[in-house]
Amino acid sequence: MDPIIILQAGVASGTVLLFATIGEIFTERSGILNLGLEGMMLIGAMSAYKTALATGNPWLGVFVAMLVAGLLSQVHALITIQFQADQVVSGLALTFLGTGLSMVFGEGLSKAGAVALLPSFSIPGLVSIPFVGPILFEDQSVMVYLGYLLVPLAWYYINRTRPGLHLRAIGEYPAAADALGINVNRLRYFYVLVGGMLAGVAGATISLAVSPGWFSHLTTSGQGWIAIGLVIFAQWDPIRAAGGSYAFGALRRMILDIQGPLKIFGLRNPFYYNPYWGFFLQMLPYAFTIVVLVIGSREAIRKRMGAPAALGLPYIRGERGL
C-alpha cells in the first residue's frame, strides 16, 4: 500500500483510458457517438499482441493495432454517416463485431509465451523532482510519455487551431459548417477514424505495455465503456479527461494493493482476512463510473453546457437538423 507505487501504476494503467477517452472525444466532438470503443480496443490489443509475437517488433504491433481498429471504426462511420443508421445500435454492433473478431483471430494467443514489449525508461533530470518525479517519470512505458504529449496537443488542436474549429463546428452546427464550405461528412469519417486509431493504441498499450498478454475478451475488462463514461465526465475536454483517466488508473491499482497488508490505518484489514470481500472492491471502478456520470451530468445541467449539440444526429443536407 505504498501511495507512490499506487500512483505510479495508476498513471500507467490510466494511460489506456487516456488514449481511448481522447480518441472518443475527437469522434464525439465531430457529432458521431461511437459506442464500439470496447470492441475497437479489444481488436487493437489482439492485433498488436499477435503482430509483436510474429515479428518481434512491438512498434509494428502498435502500428497494426491502429490500422485494424481504424478500419473497424470505418464500419461504424459507413453505417452512421452514409446509411444514417442509429448510432447507438451501430456502436453496440461494433462492440460485438470487434469482440467476436478478436476472439476468433486471437484463439490460442493466450498460451503464446513471451513477446517483445514496448520499452520502459526513466526521464533523466525530471525523475529527481521530489514526489512527482518517481510517479510520473520513473521507469514508465514509452506509451505513458506519449500520453503526456497527447493531452496538451489534443487540447491545443481542438481549441486553438483552424481544423479544430472546423471539428467543433461540425459537431455543434453542421448546417452552418456546411454553408461555410466545410465538408461535414468527410470530416466526420476522418474523426471517427482518429477515434478508432487511438482506441487501437489504447488496446496495444494494454497488451504490449501495461498488463502484457492476451486474455481473450477479458483483456479490456470494460475499460472501453469506462472511457465512454469518462468522456461525459470530462465534458469533452482532453485535460479533464487526463485527470479522470489517471484517477481511475490509480483506483484500479489500489483495489489490487488493498488486499495485501494485515492492517490498514492501524485497523484489521477485512479484505485480508476474507479475500472474498474483494468482490466488493472489484465493483468499485464500475460504481465510480456511475458516480462520475452523475457528477458530469449534473454539472452539465448546471452550467447549461454539455454534449456537442449535433451528437448522435446524421447530417443530411437540406434537412432541418437541430
254 scored as a contact of another protein (CB under 8 A): no
Nearer to another protein, 98 or 249 (CB): 98
Q: Could you say which of 71, 97, 127, 142 contacts another protein (CB under 8 A)?
A: 97
106 scored as a contact of another protein (CB under 8 A): yes
Q: Which stretch binds another protein (CB under 8 A): 15-23, 82-90, 129-137, 168-176?
A: 82-90
Nearer to another protein, 82 or 183 (CB): 82
- Cα separation, 161 vs 159, whole angstroms: 6
Q: Could you say which of 57, 128, 159, 274 contacts another protein (CB under 8 A)?
A: 274
Shortest approach of another protein to residue 213 CB, angstroms? 17
158 scored as a contact of another protein (CB under 8 A): no
Shortest approach of another protein to residue 183 CB, angstroms? 18
273 scored as a contact of another protein (CB under 8 A): no
289 scored as a contact of another protein (CB under 8 A): yes
101 scored as a contact of another protein (CB under 8 A): yes
Shortest approach of another protein to residue 115 CB, angstroms? 20
Which residue ranges make up the site for another protein (CB under 8 A)?
Answer: 35, 39, 75, 78-79, 82-86, 88-90, 92-108, 216-217, 222, 225-226, 228-229, 232, 274, 276-277, 279-280, 282-283, 286-287, 289-290, 293-294, 297-298, 300-301
